Amino acid sequence: MPTESLESSASVTELVAWMDLTCSLLDALATHAFRWNQADYESFREGMKETLQTLKNQPSPSSVLIAAGTLAQRIEHYNHGTQQVVERSVGELRDIIRILMSSVDATRAGYDDSAAALQQIEEVVGKTQTAEELRVAKVQLTHALSKLSEKTKERKQETSDLLGKLQQRVQVLEHASASGPPQPPAGASAEKKPVPPAPPEPHSAEDIGPSAADPPVRQPNGGEPRLDPLTGLLNKEAAEDAILDLRSKPGQFYLAAFYVQRMARLNARYGDKVANELLFLCAQRLVNNLLHPNDQLYRWRGPAFVAVLEREDGAQDVQREVRQRIEARFQCELRGGALLVSIELASSVIPTGKGAPHELIEQVDSFFNLQSARG
């Protein structure tokens, strides 16, 4: 047998072995994928089976390339959905832990106060020598026991309320795990409604500015950073891309711009750790109170956020919705309620139907520059 034939036969055998290995790996990947939503899980498995069937039918090189591209998209899309479910679950669990820790601190403080009051009465009783002093001590003891009884009732009610809230959070967490991330309508973007992760430890006051000291999160294709490391939201570049894509999408869209006022002063007064936590809480408030499943929130820069809203309503109705759902002034509790900070949020709603993408971006920047100049 000629040498060329032997080499060709060996190459074919090696290629077949690699194809078998690839098919086995893809089959294992489809079988053991994280099942965060049954329908999406089945769809993912069916897509993988189609790719496997294509590879088993001895396709041409061009067909292999097409199948590989389709496979990469399927895996990336499913991984994106899985990552969102995990991040959302982790965020909920962190919130639950924070609530529990705050409750424990409050309970400990209450017991310390009660112990101090009883110790004071014990000292008074120990020094009592006359009937008058005994009568005064009795009155003080009655008063202290009455206050302890009231505090016990308050703690019981607070504990009951806390358990109710935690039960609701657990139910939300279970529902989120069962249903998975919301799916976009046909032809819509695959971007999902984000849930910001818990705020990281700050590195410097620059964390509240356009960039942070944390390493940027990069896209799977190795492109530029797309996620803001402080809030977990998509960044300005992603927002501009979304604005450019709006004209090719069916439906009616609005841009809602939000600016957290006095952030520089809050940072100077309370420090960058509190300022970062405030920005995270503002982002969480916007996501929870305003966004629908097909909406998306972005961190534009510093204390500035932009939401892309899909609404069938007119501009005035959307403005009214924003005002009703997102108060211009509200208070944030920090450090387990030990610190109460007042937040002012300026907002602007921009219809996207008539303006060109670059004009819409300029309007957003102009609004934020105006708010920044006001301090």
Beta strands in the chain (DSSP E): 217-218, 225-227, 253-260, 296-301, 304-310, 329-334, 339-351
pLDDT of residue 212: 35
Q: What is the mean pLDDT of residues 143-167?
A: 72
Q: What is the mean pLDDT of residues 42-47?
A: 78
Q: Do residues 134 and 128 lie in contact, with contact meaning Cβ atoms separated by under 8 Å? A: yes
* Dist CA 147 CA 151 (whole Å): 6
Query: Which among 291, 303, 176, 190 is positioned nearest to 238, based on CA atoms?
Result: 190
Instruction: Sort strands 217-218 and 339-351 into parallel, antiparallel or unpaired.
Output: unpaired
Q: Which two structure tokens, joined as six digits, stand for 173?
A: 């967490």
* pLDDT tops 60 at residue 371: yes
Q: 119 pLDDT band (50/70/90 cuts)? A: confident
Q: What is the mean pLDDT of residues 237-251?
A: 92
pLDDT of residue 222: 43
With pLDDT > 90 as the criterion, what percentage of the chain qualifies?
Answer: 21
pLDDT of residue 114: 66
pLDDT of residue 336: 61
pLDDT of residue 235: 93
pLDDT of residue 368: 95
Of residues 94 and 343, the one with the higher pLDDT is: 343
* pLDDT tops 90 at residue 41: no
Q: Which two structure tokens, joined as six digits, stand for 252?
A: 């009616």
Residue with tokens 């982002």: 283
Of residues 258 and 45, the one with the higher pLDDT is: 258
* pLDDT tops 90 at residue 299: yes
Residues 181-221: pLDDT tens digits? Answer: 444 434 434 444 444 444 444 433 334 443 333 333 334 44
Query: Which among 235, 246, 248 is positioned nearest to 351, based on CA atoms?
Result: 246
Q: 14 pLDDT band (50/70/90 cuts)? A: low
Q: 296 pLDDT band (50/70/90 cuts)? A: very high
* pLDDT tops 60 at residue 329: yes
pLDDT of residue 169: 63
pLDDT of residue 109: 65
* pLDDT tops 90 at residue 374: no
Q: What is the mean pLDDT of residues 4-9?
A: 50
pLDDT of residue 195: 46
Q: 16 pLDDT band (50/70/90 cuts)? A: low
pLDDT of residue 366: 95
* pLDDT tops 80 at residue 293: yes
Residues 57-67: pLDDT tens digits? Answer: 766 666 666 77
Of residues 284 and 193, the one with the higher pLDDT is: 284
pTM: 0.45
Q: What is the mean pLDDT of residues 24-35?
A: 71
Q: What is the mean pLDDT of residues 171-186?
A: 50
Which range among 16-20, 55-59, 129-133, 257-261 has the greatest average pLDDT?
257-261
Taking only Cα atoms into account, the Rg of the chain, rounded to an integer number of angstroms, comes to 29
Of residues 110 and 120, the one with the higher pLDDT is: 120
